[in-house]
């Protein structure tokens, strides 16, 4: 398995293909040295005396799940992009540039559509939205009912439409165009503050954008990951999702976060033995008693 490099450089990026409005994103006026975090992301240690998971435990789980599942295909494109993140491109260099790079705004809205639905339905909803409206300006200008009909297959259409149009309207008022690429130049703390200002955007959505679109070392906690973290005793039994997110981000080594998150998420969808919140439907990949994590959880206390 190829290890992700810990040292990051800020690359000279190619602009994502056709995602931003003609005018460039306005630069942030805030300093990258700012380290004040928004309320939902208060990073004070919630469990200062809780020593799990150790780096060795994280690496062992990563290796076991990788041997069991292989690296999940749906996340390979993001993994490749993280590799490219270490390469500095010249602005006039077209070799090796990925013209299909997903824009930050696309990723944010795609994540919103993925909430409370299946991956297949959310992808259908996003594809339908993109094919029905050529630009995000068109989505903002469209009647809400029309947008709702376009994304209805993803569930919660009225709520998600309101959230999406609210983000687009707020972004236009704040920045003058519908583009979030300026976030690539900000610190993690600044990105969290910027995204948390949008109505309906919570910590998990922000963490997903950080990890997938912005290639930052963050560890989102969804239902599957939360349950498996408890099964492995990586957090105290009384921990909630918010404290689990803070604790795991402080305990898991940065270089393991991306692979480990993708693998635990994938494992949680197919293993009911260690993920009580997983699907009850039988699956070909069901591991049940063969789950490699069960032995680790029994020795974790």
This prediction has a pTM of 0.78
Residue 215 near residue 81 (C-beta atoms within 8 A): yes
DSSP state of 209: I
Out of 43-47, 138-142, 264-268, pick the least confident. Answer: 43-47
Out of 9-13, 40-44, 55-59, 103-107, pick the least confident. Answer: 9-13
What is the per-residue pLDDT for 139? 98
Q: Token pair for residue 80?
A: 């490749």
87 pLDDT above the threshold of 70: no
What is the per-residue pLDDT for 43? 61
- Nearest of 22, 228, 211 to residue 104 by alpha carbon: 211
Mean pLDDT of 116-132: 96
Out of 20-29, 63-72, 151-160, pick the least confident. Answer: 20-29
What is the per-residue pLDDT for 117? 93
Residue 281 or residue 186, greater confidence: 186
Residue 151 near residue 128 (C-beta atoms within 8 A): yes
Instruction: Give 10's pLDDT tier (boundaries 50, 70, 90).
Output: very low
What is the per-residue pLDDT for 300? 45
* Complete domains list, the chain, with CATH: 50-84+217-277 (1.10.1670.10)
Mean pLDDT of 265-280: 74
Cis ω for the linkage preceding 53 (within 30 of 0): yes
- Nearest of 68, 24, 297 to residue 177 by alpha carbon: 24
What SS3 class is residue 6? coil
What's the CA dihedral at 217, 223, 228, 230 to 10 degrees?
Answer: 100
- Nearest of 282, 260, 298, 289 to residue 61 by alpha carbon: 260
104 pLDDT above the threshold of 90: yes
Mean pLDDT of 137-164: 98
137 pLDDT above the threshold of 60: yes
What is the per-residue pLDDT for 92? 38
Catalytic residues: 204
Taking the C-alpha atoms of residue 84 and residue 97, their distance in angstroms, rounded to an integer, is 9
- Nearest of 195, 196, 126 to residue 155 by alpha carbon: 126
184 pLDDT above the threshold of 50: yes
What is the per-residue pLDDT for 41? 57
What is the per-residue pLDDT for 23? 41
Cβ neighbours for 16, distance < 8 A, ≥ 6 positions apart? 101, 102, 103, 106, 181
Q: How far lies 171's CA from each of 141, 180, 195, 199, in Å?
A: 14, 8, 10, 11
Instruction: Give 20's pLDDT tier (boundaries 50, 70, 90).
Output: low
Burial of 286 (C-beta count, 10 Å sphere; 0-12/13-18/19+): middle
Taking the C-alpha atoms of residue 101 and residue 98, their distance in angstroms, rounded to an integer, is 6
Out of 13-17, 108-112, 142-146, 223-227, pick the least confident. Answer: 13-17
Cβ neighbours for 232, distance < 8 A, ≥ 6 positions apart? 52, 53, 57, 61, 274, 293, 296, 297, 300
Residue 125 or residue 16, greater confidence: 125
Residue 155 near residue 124 (C-beta atoms within 8 A): no
Mean pLDDT of 134-149: 98
- Nearest of 223, 177, 64 to residue 231 by alpha carbon: 223
Mean pLDDT of 174-200: 96
> C-alpha angle with apex 61: 58 to 208, nearest 5 degrees?
70
Phi–psi pair at 26, nearest 5 degrees: -65, 140
How many of the other CB atoms lie within 10 Å of CB of 293?
23
Tens-digit pLDDT profile for residues 27-53: 444 433 333 333 455 568 899 999 999
Out of 32-36, 264-268, 272-276, 294-298, pick the least confident. Answer: 32-36
What is the per-residue pLDDT for 1? 41
What is the per-residue pLDDT for 293? 87
What is the per-residue pLDDT for 158? 98
């Amino acid at each position: 398995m190829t290890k992700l490099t810990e040292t990051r450089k800020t690359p000279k990026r190619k602009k994502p293909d056709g995602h931003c409005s003609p005018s460039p994103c306005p630069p942030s006026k805030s300093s990258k040295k700012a380290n004040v975090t928004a309320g939902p992301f208060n990073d004070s240690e919630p469990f200062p005396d809780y020593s799990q998971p150790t780096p060795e435990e994280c690496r062992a789980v990563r290796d076991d799940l990788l041997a069991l599942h292989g690296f999940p295909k749906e996340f390979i494109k993001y993994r490749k992009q993280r590799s490219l993140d270490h390469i500095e491109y010249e602005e006039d260099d077209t070799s090796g540039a990925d013209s299909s790079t997903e824009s930050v705004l696309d990723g944010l809205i795609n994540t919103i559509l993925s909430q409370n639905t299946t991956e297949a339905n959310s992808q259908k909803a996003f594809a339908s939205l993109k094919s029905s409206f050529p630009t995000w300006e068109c989505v903002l200008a469209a009647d809400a009912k029309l947008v709702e009909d376009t994304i209805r297959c993803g569930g919660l259409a009225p709520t998600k439409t309101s959230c999406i149009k609210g983000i687009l309207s707020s972004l236009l008022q704040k920045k003058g165009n519908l583009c979030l690429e300026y976030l690539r130049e900000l610190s993690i703390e600044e990105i969290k503050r910027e995204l948390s200002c949008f109505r309906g955007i919570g910590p998990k959505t922000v963490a997903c954008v950080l990890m997938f679109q912005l290639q930052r070392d963050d560890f989102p906690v969804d239902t599957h990951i939360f349950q498996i973290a408890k099964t492995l005793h990586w957090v105290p039994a009384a921990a909630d999702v918010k404290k689990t997110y803070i604790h795991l981000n402080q305990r898991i080594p940065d270089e393991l976060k991306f692979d480990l998150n993708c693998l635990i998420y994938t494992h949680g969808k197919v293993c009911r033995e260690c993920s009580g919140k997983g699907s009850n439907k039988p699956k070909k990949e069901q591991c049940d008693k063969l789950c490699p994590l069960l032995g680790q959880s029994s020795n974790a206390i």
